[in-house]
Amino acid sequence: MTTYISSSLGYPRIGEDREWKKALESYWRNEITEEELKTETKRLRLANLKKQQELNIDLIPVGDFSFYDHVLDTAFSFGVIPNRFQHLDDQSIDTYFAVARGNKEAVAAEMTKWFNTNYHYIVPELNDIKPRLVENRALSYYKEAKEELGINGKPVLVGPVTFVKLSKGYEQSQFESIVESFLPLYVQVLQELADAGADWIQIDEPVLGTNLSESEIALLQYVYQKLAAEVPNAKIILQTYFETVQQYDRVIQLPVAAIGLDFVHGNHLEAIQKWGFPKDKILAAGIINGRNVWRSDLDSKLALINEIQSIIEAETIIIQPSCSLLHVPVTKKTESQIDRVILDGLSFADEKLVEIDTLVQGANKGKSVIENELNESKNARETLAASPYRQNRQVAEELAQIGHDEVKRALAFADRIKIQQEELKLPLLPTTTIGSLPQTSEVKGTRTKWRKGEINDQEYQNFIESETKKWIEIQEELEIDVLVHGEFERTDMVEFFGEKLDGFAVTEFGWVQSYGSRCVKPPLIVGDVSWAGPMTVKEIVYAQSLTDKHVKGMLTGPVTILNWSFVHEELPRFTIQDQIGLALEKEVLALETAGVNIIQVDEPALREGLPLDRLKWPAYFDAATRSFRISTASVKPSTQIHTHMCYSEFSEIFEVIDALDADVISIETSRSHGELIDTFEVNDYDKEIGLGVYDIHSPRVPSVEEIKANIDRALRTIDVKQFWINPDCGLKTRGKEETVAALRNMIEAAKQVREEVTAKVIG
């Protein structure tokens, strides 16, 4: 008879009240000491472990905690520190933060998205570095859990193939030898963990959900054969997630004790039916969705478990989330303002662990044991499904009217750009910013007072207008060409629209980590999405009234709103994306009617939503292009549409970016500036473009020379008539002084380049 046990793959680091974030930022402001930072984070780390123990999780992850990012942790454990930081103490926490955030002497390491999530990792730089084991941090956290709480935890490691695959600073021909150089270090880490008494060791290889080459699969086989031979007493769970394992039939033959498969986002039931599952291995089945917040259909989940059990012969099956719970909020118990119908349909990290335990109890003891839980779950889900949130027929009718027809602008870009140039009268190499300006403690504090009712609506509106006026004046003094209103009324670029659009709900404490200490609160798409009325017009029109320069209208695009929200699962995602596109079209046209002739519809999450399996890319691209065009194609030819993207590997999505048909695109590239510019050497791009000329994620102020070098590098490949000059992202998280100083240097660099270009033309 099969026995079922429970497991978690990782737990949110941030704390119920973002205690982790607050401690980190206090340390960076020199308000607490390093010892105080470590004391507070240890308290939180142990509390998280204790909570999972109390929720009856059998295999509790340790080592999933981080001071910034788990990939950066892995790099530091193995002495992989960028050359520009190697003169610093490699065991100092300040060196660690310098690599992540930059310092006065050196730029930060590149940051990009963790597969197709909104979590960002720091990209390791392997340039000629010989790895060595600096610290077995997994062992430290394992011992801490055992000694402090009596928990025999499950250490979590980033696997060697995934780690090197996600790194930079080497040629593809070196991939195999570099992975092999890490093997002795992994052997030592595993041996020390096994010797310390770790029953299970989780090695994450999410790269198995991507399209690996034959040589990469062969290397993976070699790696795990080597680990099994060198450390035979280490019980490894090879953990995959986010997608179907591409080479399932070969991966299940690897010499590991257990294999973790994602049954939410992958077709692994079909794979098991076709290829079976080895009798000598334990299946760790990712049954509960670790990336969404909706309550599970426990009846269907229990049926899935029974179906899996009927196919494979196993003494033990592990029931767990589909991935780390890092990607969802901590608990819904602190939510007091949201509609009860919605609240009952939610499941955050703690509630997901309860669902795991419920399924384990039902699988082990019979369905009757969990009958109350099954009924409660079913009633909550059915009540939400039948609610007015999901009964908006008008939206369906509007989408039906569009049908499958191609949506496009009235004029081609080559024709409309001439009209825009005549209308806008912008200079060569126009300067702008991406949208948001510093949200100081005063801005956030005033918003909090307003939300608590401590100041009235008019007082809050007066404050927002005073901040807008101040920053319009600052931008004019800096001589920026196209201004922004600053977005001081917005909490977050997606949550703001979630508060304004019908079909959404927002939480009070539904925070998740995005990068470093940056936490976001994704809105909930609970039903059919529709436009309820103007969302941004008042603020943009007010800002425009303060200046003779152009002020951009600022919106977040449908792909990003979808990817950065928790989306209900009753309709196909692309249908909901089109619903958002329709709602945004109404807002775009309202801005245009109000006289706004530059409108930016940001899509920073376009690439991150890509399926890991490249065979699914065409459908994703078609849907993204369609929904963006639904939002923007109805404007007049004289209205200039901008968009902005983050961390885009431009070469991979070049055609879809072109197909969006935005007049101007800005791309966040400052940490990998040259790599993206290389794309233009092999692709023709006729529209206008701004490559981020400095990194806003670091507090350092770049020099004029540094920014000018980035501009000059771009202009070797991109026509000067196409190029815009801007920071690489919004300035919301930066302070006023550093923002003004950096923008001043950016404007000066732009002036110098303009003068040089003009001189060449005259000469």
Picking from 230, 256, 354, the residue whose alpha carbon sits closest to that of residue 301 is: 354
Please spell the DSSP secondary structure of 482-498, one letter per residue: EE--B-TT-S-TTHHHH
Annotated binding-site residue? 646: yes
Annotated binding-site residue? 215: no
Annotated binding-site residue? 230: no
Per the CB < 8 A criterion, the answer to whether 580 and 527 are in contact is no
Per the CB < 8 A criterion, the answer to whether 119 and 326 are in contact is yes
The pair of three-digit structure tokens given for residue 722, joined into one six-digit string: 């196409």
Instruction: Please list, residue by residue across 525-545, b when 16 or more beta carbons sit within 10 angstroms of its beta carbon and e when fewer do.
Output: bbbbbbbeebbbbebbbbbbe
Picking from 386, 482, 377, the residue whose alpha carbon sits closest to that of residue 750 is: 482
Long-range Cβ pairs for the range 224-232 (8 Å, 24+) = 224/254, 224/255, 224/256, 225/254, 225/255, 226/183, 226/187, 227/183, 227/186, 227/187, 227/190, 228/255, 228/256, 230/187, 230/190, 230/191, 231/187, 231/190, 231/191, 231/194
Q: Which amino acid is at 197?
A: G
Per the CB < 8 A criterion, the answer to whether 599 and 591 are in contact is yes
Backbone angles phi, psi at 665, to 5 degrees: -120, 135
Which H helix or E strand runs over 21?
Answer: helix 19-28
Place of tokens 């303002």: 337
Picking from 537, 552, 520, the residue whose alpha carbon sits closest to that of residue 433 is: 552
Q: Alpha-carbon distance 249 to 273, whole Å?
A: 11
Other residues' Cβ atoms within 10 Å of the Cβ of residue 669:
26
* Per-residue 3-state assignment (H helix, E strand, C coil) for 362-418: HHHHCHHHHHHHHHHHHHHHHHHHCCHHHCCHHHHHHHHHHCCCCCCCCCCHHHHHH
The pair of three-digit structure tokens given for residue 702, joined into one six-digit string: 């770049």
3-state secondary structure of 344: helix
Q: Alpha-carbon distance 692 to 193, whole Å?
A: 44
DSSP state of 336: -
Per the CB < 8 A criterion, the answer to whether 142 and 154 are in contact is no
Annotated binding-site residue? 180: no
Q: Any idea what the Cα angle at residue 246 is, between residues 243 and 252, rounded to 5°?
A: 100
The pair of three-digit structure tokens given for residue 8, joined into one six-digit string: 């978690």
Annotated binding-site residue? 13: no
Annotated binding-site residue? 323: no
Other residues' Cβ atoms within 10 Å of the Cβ of residue 46:
16
Per the CB < 8 A criterion, the answer to whether 665 and 642 are in contact is yes
Annotated binding-site residue? 525: no
3-state secondary structure of 304: helix
Annotated binding-site residue? 48: no
Q: Alpha-carbon distance 201 to 190, whole Å?
A: 8
Annotated binding-site residue? 390: no
The reply to whether 87 belongs to the active site is no
Q: Is 317 exposed, middle or buried (0-12, 13-18, 19+ CB in 10 A)?
A: buried
Q: Which of the residues 70, 120, 673, 697 is marked catalytic?
A: 697
Q: Which amino acid is at 526?
A: V
Distance of CA 357 to the CA centre of its chain: 28
Q: Is 252 exposed, middle or buried (0-12, 13-18, 19+ CB in 10 A)?
A: buried
Per the CB < 8 A criterion, the answer to whether 313 and 272 are in contact is no
Annotated binding-site residue? 21: yes
Q: Is 255 exposed, middle or buried (0-12, 13-18, 19+ CB in 10 A)?
A: middle
Picking from 579, 143, 209, 170, the residue whose alpha carbon sits closest to that of residue 393 is: 579
Place of tokens 């949201």: 338
Binding residue positions for L-methionine: 434-436, 487, 602
Which residues are part of the catalytic machinery?
Answer: 697
Binding residue positions: 18-21, 113, 118, 434-436, 487, 518-519, 564, 602, 608, 644, 646, 668, 729
Binding residue positions for 5-methyltetrahydropteroyltri-L-glutamate: 18-21, 113, 118, 518-519, 564, 608
Binding residue positions for Zn(2+): 644, 646, 668, 729
Binding residue positions for L-homocysteine: 434-436, 487, 602
